[in-house]
Homo-oligomer: A and B are copies of this chain.
Amino acid sequence: VSISLATVRNVQGGNGMTAGPLYTVTELAKQLGMTPRAIRFYEDKGLITPQRAGTTRVFSTRDRARMILILRGKRLGFSLRDISDYLSLYDADRTQRAQVSLLVDMVNERMRMLEVQLGDLQTTLGELREIKKLANERLAQAS
């Protein structure tokens, strides 16, 4: 039984049950500026569960939206586990109250960490400037 993606796309256009375009891993990856490997990895971690056409992954617009959310979380520096916890609350609660509440907690903690990082980074930059100065003096002296 061979079920090509083309076949799926056609069936899809025909029955009207699930609307919108469909994508393969590579297509979706290219669109979102990531690698197919990363998408497969996220699936392995349970972050997204695309349908299958035989063995080939088929992504809907819903999947696409979810991937964008995942990427947003990553950009903000959250771990895949954090993102996974957050996303799994979406299906649980109708009002999304728990989800929004978790989001606030996560964001607060992340901000605290980033403030610390910012301080460290400034300190490090200062030290590097000093080292550079000393090294340059030494090079000038030796010549």
- Interface positions of A (Cβ within 8 A of B): 75-77, 95, 97, 100-101, 103-104, 107-108, 110-111, 114-115, 117-118, 121-122, 124-125, 127-129, 131-132, 135-136, 138-139, 142
In angstroms, Cα B114 to Cα A129, docked, is 12
- Residues A114 and B121 in contact in the complex (CB < 8 Å), given A100-B138, A139-B97: yes
Complex formed: what's the CA distance from A105 to B124 in Å? 16
Number of this chain's copies in the assembly equals: 2
C-alpha gap A139/B128 in the complex (Å): 44
Show 12 A/B contacts (Cβ-Cβ < 8 Å), sorted by A. Answer: A75-B124, A76-B131, A95-B142, A101-B139, A104-B135, A107-B128, A111-B128, A111-B132, A114-B128, A118-B118, A118-B122, A121-B121
Is the contact region of chain A dominated by helix, strand, or loop, or is it mixed? Answer: helix
Q: Which residues of B contact A127 (CB under 8 A)?
A: 76
Assuming A114-B128, A115-B125, what are 5 further A-B pairs, CB within 8 angstroms? A76-B127, A76-B131, A104-B135, A108-B132, A110-B128
**Given A107-B131, A111-B129, A131-B107, A77:B124 Cβ within 8 A:** yes
Question: By the criterion CB–CB under 8 Å, are A100 and B132 in contact?
Answer: no
CB distance from A30 to the nearest CB of B (A): 24
